[in-house]
Amino acid sequence: KKEYDYLIVGSGLFGSVFAHEATKAGKKCLILDKRKHTGGNIYCENIEGINVHKYGPHIFHTNDKKIWDYVNQFVNFNHFVYSPLSLSKGKLYNLPFNMNTFYQLWGTKTPAEAKNKIEQQIKEFGSDNPKNLEEQALSLVGKDIYETLIKGYTEKQWGRKATELPAFIIKRLPVRFTFDNNYFNDRYQGIPIGGYNKIIENLLENIEVKLDTDYFENKEYFENIATKIVFTGKIDEYFDYRFGKLEYRSLRFETQILDTENFQGNAGINYNDIEYQHTRIVEHKHFEFGNQKKTVVTKEYPENWTSEKEAYYPINDEKNQAIYLNYKKLSETLNNVIFGGRLAEYKYYDMHQIIASALIKSKKELENG
């Protein structure tokens, strides 16, 4: 018998939930991470007493009571509601598109007035057969919303003109005819009291963790000490890129401590105007209603991805999806490795979806294995 039942590569939310469930079922786990900390992308760094979301702002939200109850075993949540604004052409607009936004754009005061305005704009600028992202957006919401609140942000995010982006990127653009600035529609929402690291610390209580350790630097050794591997890193890297490299969009974060108590009065403000290179500024203390003397803000710049950079958003176009399917098929032939999480499945997942996926995969594994 080998020393460990499971060697888990990656201490993000997927690896941590898997390790927790396996340990609860009496299995012995070792969890590795190549970073100097656990938690993957939900990790927060404490700066000036403020939990700084190091890999981008994270708001927990779900409609699924089982997932909500599950995370609440490990941490309690505050009553934070994400309600970002957008700075566009020198003015602030509420997001997501709702009655407040329409009032700010056009002065419309009733849902009937706002609906009328949008329908009129769609008629005037939309097309039946949108061929690119710009035409798609114009057909869904018309010119004013598109130009004021979508165009610049989207072009910065993808590093390409909206007329050169495929229409499929935007499938729907929800508009809301109530004065409701809550970005998410889910029933449960909040930020962990005490920060995200607490979830991971509690999930990994009594589990052996090795940080600063890259699985690939010692693959054979690690394979020999455990019966099974749970792999949450990049699937193309696992197979030595034999079908080609999967592509991503990346981000650069510029974080500053400011000697002021309250910089922008909100956790998130998007920057639609093209003269700013960043797409948003996050002021971290507002996630936890902080009243520290100083504040920490992060400007977020979208970037092209190269293999030294963090892989943030998979580019699920046809080319990449086809490459991924080759890896997926190959991965299914290995019966001692379980692939899971955003990098191994080459898929954007929210946190609640990652937890759901880790619970399903660990249950299946622990029942059969």
Contacts of 246 (CB under 8 A, 6+ apart): 234, 235, 236, 314, 320, 323, 324, 327, 346
Span near ligand FDA by CB under 6 A; candidates 29-37, 98-106, 173-181, 281-289:
29-37
Among 156, 176, 280, 342, the residue binding ligand FDA under the rule CB under 6 A is 342
Q: How far is the CB of 61 from ligand FDA (least distance, A)?
A: 6
190 binds ligand FDA (CB under 6 A): no
Among 137, 191, 354, 356, the residue binding ligand FDA under the rule CB under 6 A is 354
Among 15, 126, 152, 314, the residue binding ligand FDA under the rule CB under 6 A is 15
Q: How far apart are CA 302 and CA 322, in angstroms?
A: 25
192 binds ligand FDA (CB under 6 A): no
| Three-state SS annotation for 201-237 | HHHCCCCEEECCCCHHHHHHHHHHHEEEEEECCCHHH
Residue (15 or 142) nearer to ligand FDA, CB:
15
Tokens 């890297």 found at:
237
- Catalytic site residue 187? no
80 binds ligand FDA (CB under 6 A): no
For residue 246, what is the DSSP state?
A: P
Structure tokens that stand for 239 in this block: 């197979």
Beta-bridge partners for 87 = 92, 271
Question: How many residues of this chain bind ligand FDA (CB under 6 A)?
Answer: 34
Residue (13 or 75) nearer to ligand FDA, CB:
13
270 binds ligand FDA (CB under 6 A): no
- Catalytic site residue 249? yes
In angstroms, the Cα distances linking 31 to 15, 17, 143, 156, 169 are: 8, 11, 51, 37, 36
Q: What b/e readout covers 138-176, taking b as 16+ CB neighbours within 10 angstroms? A: bbbbbeebbbbbbbbbbbbbbeeebeebebebbeebebb
Of 33, 247, 300, 345, the active-site residue reads 300
312 binds ligand FDA (CB under 6 A): yes
215 binds ligand FDA (CB under 6 A): yes
Structure tokens that stand for 9 in this block: 């590569």
Among 6, 7, 8, 12, the residue binding ligand FDA under the rule CB under 6 A is 12
Q: How many CB atoms lie within 10 A of CB 202?
A: 15
Contacts of 168 (CB under 8 A, 6+ apart): none
Among 22, 30, 31, 42, the residue binding ligand FDA under the rule CB under 6 A is 42
Of 93, 188, 280, 342, the active-site residue reads 280
235 binds ligand FDA (CB under 6 A): no
Structure tokens that stand for 342 in this block: 């955003």
32 binds ligand FDA (CB under 6 A): yes
In angstroms, the Cα distances linking 305 to 247, 287, 308 are: 7, 28, 8
Q: Which amino acid is at 342?
A: R
Span near ligand FDA by CB under 6 A; candidates 100-108, 242-250, 274-282, 337-345:
337-345
233 binds ligand FDA (CB under 6 A): yes
201 binds ligand FDA (CB under 6 A): no
| Contact in structure between 78 and 289 (CB atoms under 8 Å) | yes
**Residues belonging to the active site:** 172, 176, 249, 280, 300, 348, 350
Residues near ligand FDA, by CB under 6 A: 9-15, 32-35, 40-42, 56-60, 214-216, 232-233, 251, 312, 341-343, 349-352, 354
